[in-house]
């Protein structure tokens, strides 16, 4: 599984430009599903199992995109000014590296770095340096144009059970979905499940909504990261790294129906899978879009605890990842009673 994490987290694919990461996932899942297609937004839709009169149609969503930047202007000195793609934090930018689709690596700089070291500007105060040489009194740049997108660049690292990489959000959710598909290939699937690897989640859960309208599921399950409450002065929440899969109870845009939450809890307890409960005070997931499809879909989320979200050092525990795989696969391999509200 770590080899797959490395492959997906190091891949290029900022929001709106997911074609490279989608190709990698297609190669991984082509023998694990019964049918595969790409919808009009670019999400990859993989069907496993068949709908009957007694089972459910389930949509499992994990987003392929990552935060990034887009070139908005090239100034007179040749430095690239940019607009964020998703939630890019100002305090993570200076000295960071980005990579463009053509392979060019840029370094993010900040105005007045030494003159005003304690002042943090908005995105307008940062720039990307892609200079290759200096000639005729100006920087000679690599071939980058306005509108080109870049993702942050960093290799995956391991530290014991901890795995550190950029774009764990949400490539680790994609890994969980793929590994659950692999387990269902062996155990069998009790439902018709559409594993959807969605696009543009980081810019407003845009891919999940049309995908859910198309699939028209009876149950929606997002697989995404959530922050932890176990760092100094961090989030005030009970989720800890290494304590198991996080079962979402509520976030800013989703209140998980009790029947869905209890299904996840009961499944975890029946199969001896470590879990914890997540209440998130900022942010949401694809589940918030799935729940609003057509006449409404009972939806929940299995979250992978993650420290340092939206940085190039997002950190997960491999045991939590395995717990999420086991929980998702166990839910889908066994019958599910109605998840409709009482």
- 260 burial (CB, 10 Å; 0-12 / 13-18 / 19+) is buried
**Tokens standing for 181?**
């598909």
Of 298, 306, 296, 293, nearest to 339 (Cα)? 298
Catalytic, out of 18, 179, 192, 201: 201
CA distance 212 to 61: 9
Which residues, 6+ apart, have CB-to-CB distance to 159 below 8 Å? none
Contact 340, 259 (CB under 8 A): yes
Q: Is 278 a catalytic residue?
A: no
> For residue 305, what is the enclosing H or E element?
strand 299-305
CA distance 139 to 76: 10
Contact 59, 221 (CB under 8 A): yes
The strand pair at 245-250 and 299-305 is best described as: antiparallel
Contact 302, 247 (CB under 8 A): yes
- Read out DSSP for 195-233? EEEES--TTTSTTHHHHHHHH--SEEEEEEEE--S-STT
Which residues, 6+ apart, have CB-to-CB distance to 304 below 8 Å? 168, 172, 173, 176, 223, 224, 225, 226, 245, 246, 316, 320, 321, 324
Catalytic residues: 201
């Amino acid at each position: 599984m770590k080899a797959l994490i490395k492959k997906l987290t190091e891949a290029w694919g900022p929001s709106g430009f997911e074609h490279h990461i989608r190709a990698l996932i297609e190669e991984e899942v082509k023998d694990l599903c019964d049918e595969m297609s790409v919808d009009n937004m670019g999400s990859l839709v993989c069907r496993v199992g068949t709908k009957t009169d007694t089972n459910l149609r389930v949509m499992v969503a994990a987003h392929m995109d990552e935060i990034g930047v887009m070139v908005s202007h090239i100034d007179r000195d040749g430095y690239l000014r940019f607009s964020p793609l998703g939630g890019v934090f100002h305090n993570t930018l200076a000295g960071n590296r980005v990579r463009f689709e053509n392979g060019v690596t840029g370094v993010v700089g900040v105005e007045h770095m030494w003159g005003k070291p304690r002042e943090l500007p908005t995105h307008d105060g940062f720039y990307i340096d892609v200079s290759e040489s200096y000639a005729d009194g100006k920087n000679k740049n690599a071939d980058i144009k306005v509108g080109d997108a870049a993702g942050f660049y960093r290799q995956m690292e391991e530290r014991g059970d901890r795995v550190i990489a950029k774009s764990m959000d949400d490539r680790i959710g994609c890994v969980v979905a793929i590994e659950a598909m692999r387990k269902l290939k062996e155990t069998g699937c009790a439902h018709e499940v559409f594993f959807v690897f969605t696009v543009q989640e980081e810019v407003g859960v845009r891919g999940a909504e049309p995908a859910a309208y198309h699939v028209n599921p009876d149950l929606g399950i997002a697989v995404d990261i959530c922050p932890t409450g176990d760092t100094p002065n961090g989030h005030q929440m009970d989720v800890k790294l290494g304590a198991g899969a996080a079962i979402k109870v509520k976030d800013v845009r989703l209140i998980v129906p009790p029947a869905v939450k209890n299904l996840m809890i009961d499944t975890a307890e029946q199969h001896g899978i470590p879990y914890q409960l997540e209440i998130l005070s900022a942010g949401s997931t694809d589940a918030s879009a799935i729940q609003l499809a057509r006449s409404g879909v009972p939806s929940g989320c299995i979250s992978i605890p993650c420290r340092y979200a939206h940085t190039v050092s997002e950190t997960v525990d491999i045991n939590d990842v395995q717990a999420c795989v086991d929980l998702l696969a166990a839910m889908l391999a066994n019958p599910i009673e109605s998840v409709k509200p009482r």
